Amino acid sequence: MLGYLPQRLGVPPTTVLRDLTALVAAVRAVPLADALARLADIGLGDRAGATLAQLSGGQRQRAMLALAALGRVEALLLDEPSISLDTEGAEEVRAEIRQARSRGTAVLFASHHLHDVARLADRIVVMVDGRVAAQGTLPELAAAAGVSWNEVVAEAPIERIYRILVARRRGGSVAPALVLLRGDAA
């Protein structure tokens, strides 16, 4: 089963979190109590009666991610999961992605946040104008871009690698990077 998190909210902001949870639970054949317990796990147990508009950006995205991954989801497709979130919210979403991955869920996400890509991705696909410009692991992409760095002492210069690869394909324009995270089940 595939779980999907769209870039925009994907439901009217007046939707009550509990109603949406009940719908996803019914569709995915998960007992409602388990679904609500999942909300409690991510710290939103007392916010189930709130509308999505009443949640903070980070809470909303965490809730939607948890619902997208609810049940026996083998693969998650995420469109810009950390866009327009503050630092804390983005970190919460990254933690959710790591958790999904640790449960064995394959995660495919599109992101403009290159540091998320560097931290989370096993395999990266760089897209330019809808076409694949480069793909591989981060060290492979670095090698392809002719960038060397010491993995032990420094963070990957992902922005530099990205810029070189995009410029090589078609200079100037910024395109989202597609990222595949491999869970145990993938």
- Contact positions vs other proteins (CB under 8 A): 1-6, 8-12, 14-16, 19-20, 22-28, 64, 67-68
Q: Which is nearer to other proteins, 28 or 119 (CB)?
A: 28
CB of 43 to other proteins, least distance (A): 21
Question: SS3 letters for 39-100?
Answer: HHHCCCHHHCCCEHHHCCHHHHHHHHHHHHCCCCCCEEEEECCCCCCCHHHHHHHHHHHHHH
CB of 152 to other proteins, least distance (A): 41
CA angle 21, 120, 57 (to 5 degrees): 40
CB of 16 to other proteins, least distance (A): 6
Q: Which is nearer to other proteins, 16 or 180 (CB)?
A: 16
Measured between alpha carbons, how far is 25 from 68 in angstroms, rounded to an integer? Answer: 10
Q: Which is nearer to other proteins, 60 or 118 (CB)?
A: 60
